[in-house]
Amino acid sequence: FVIEAEHTEAEGYAVMERLIQRGDAPTAIYCANDMIAIGMLKCLNRYSSILYRPSIISCDDIEEGQFIKPMLSTVQLPKENMARFALLVLLDRIRGGHKEMIRIELEGQLLLRSSCCRVEDVIQPEYYI
């Protein structure tokens, strides 16, 4: 599934509600940012009586992701380096430097926490917010 959503906690909550109601919800979900994923985890907490526990992973590594249960698995982005390179490219363009598109790749770090697990390992859902 590819579901377009606003990058908010409320939208993550609403999307998870729709997924639960579908009946064919996925066993793993990748979210564009941590706020969407946190909304999904909060929704799963509300519906904790159903035996549905997908692995959820996202991208950002905001602080709140470490204080929910299960702790959010995420990709930590090199934000300082991203800002530094963006500023260098902007200054170069302002000074009349290059005009073509630039591609810069920076390495993120996968932080596996308890929101991801193997399907075989799921016994009882544990969602507490």
- pLDDT of the residue at 99: 84
Q: Name the pLDDT band for 122 (thresholds 50, 70, 90).
A: low
- Give DSSP secondary structure letters for 77-113: --HHHHHHHHHHHHHHHHTT---S--------EEE--
Higher pLDDT, residue 127 or 101: 101
Q: Name the pLDDT band for 115 (thresholds 50, 70, 90).
A: very high
Residue pair 114/71 in contact (Cβ under 8 Å)? The answer is yes
- pLDDT of the residue at 127: 47
Q: Name the pLDDT band for 71 (thresholds 50, 70, 90).
A: very high
Per-residue model confidence as pLDDT tens digits over 3-52: 999 999 999 999 999 999 987 889 899 999 999 999 999 999 998 888 78
Hunting for tokens 């692995």 — which residue is that? 55
Higher pLDDT, residue 125 or 86: 86
- pLDDT of the residue at 28: 93
124 pLDDT more than 70: no
